[in-house]
Amino acid sequence: RKEVEQDPGPFNVPEGATVAFNCTYSNSASQSFFWYRQDCRKEPKLLMSVYSSGNEDGRFTAQLNRASQYISLLIRDSKLSDSATYLCVVNDNNDMRFGAGTRLTVKP
Amino acid sequence: GAVVSQHPSWVICKSGTSVKIECRSLDFQATTMFWYRQFPKQSLMLMATSNEGSKATYEQGVEKDKFLINHASLTLSTLTVTSAHPEDSSFYICSAGETSAYNEQFFGPGTRLTVL
């Protein structure tokens, strides 16, 4: 079983749609969780840290369920500029473990 | 967020040459930096953890004699791809983070290596 698994995607959605990405992780002792965004041929950029209580930043909402070892990212009112690959990242004792990424394309 | 730079941003070299990539934390000190490799349409794969003042820790399957890592200061780590071959062509990215309870990592802009 992979350490971090994400929805395979790709997701193709119209502008304004709401889209949700899911991610599961295998190590119950994992300490911190992140969503990164990676544009084509660029480095990943931190989108959000994911806290136990859930957190929201504008159109983006991240949730963590430690019991189910599950992380989610919800994007509301999607924009063309949201098109990118979204990486679920789990920190295991200072080792960052990446999901394979989910490709999102938002179309006009 | 914190700023991490990489140099060079891209390099083309002949097979058999060695290539050095630098990773710098510009506005913070990093006792630990990470090196990743990313092949087209794949996710980042951790190659090694670079520790300031000590030997790097390599992931399984990564040859330490092929990918030399030096972390001589709190703001600089270097990765040298020795005797590069076409199969080493990839996108190499480093990351570093300030020491914090949450350990966010910030990535350099990456180095695209093409070995002819």
How does pLDDT run across B57-113, given as a tens digit for each residue? Answer: 999 999 999 999 998 888 999 999 999 999 999 999 999 887 665 677 889 999 999
pLDDT digits (tens, 9 = 90+) for A22-56: 999 999 988 889 999 999 888 899 999 998 888 99
So what's the pLDDT on residue B78?
A: 96
pLDDT digits (tens, 9 = 90+) for A50-94: 988 889 999 999 999 999 999 999 999 999 999 999 999 998 777
Establish, for the pair of chains A and B, how many residue pairs have beta carbons separated by less than 8 Å.
47
Report the alpha-carbon distance of residue A30 to residue A67 in Å, rounded.
12
Report the alpha-carbon distance of residue B67 to residue A27 in Å, rounded.
28
Q: How far is A35 from chain B, CA to nearest CA, in Å?
A: 10
pLDDT, averaged across chain A: 91
Residues of B in contact with A57 (CB under 8 A): none
In the block, tokens 């350990």 appear at B103
A48 SS3 class: strand
- The number of C-alpha atoms within 13 Å of A2 and in the hemisphere containing its C-beta is 17
Residues of A in contact with B95 (CB under 8 A): 96
CA dihedral angle for residue B32, residue B103, residue A48, residue A62, rounded to 10 degrees:
140
Residue B110 near residue B7 (C-beta atoms within 8 A):
no
Residues of A in contact with B33 (CB under 8 A): none
pLDDT digits (tens, 9 = 90+) for B64-76: 999 999 988 889 9
Q: Chain A neighbours among B 31-50 (CB < 8 Å)?
A: 32, 34, 42-46, 49
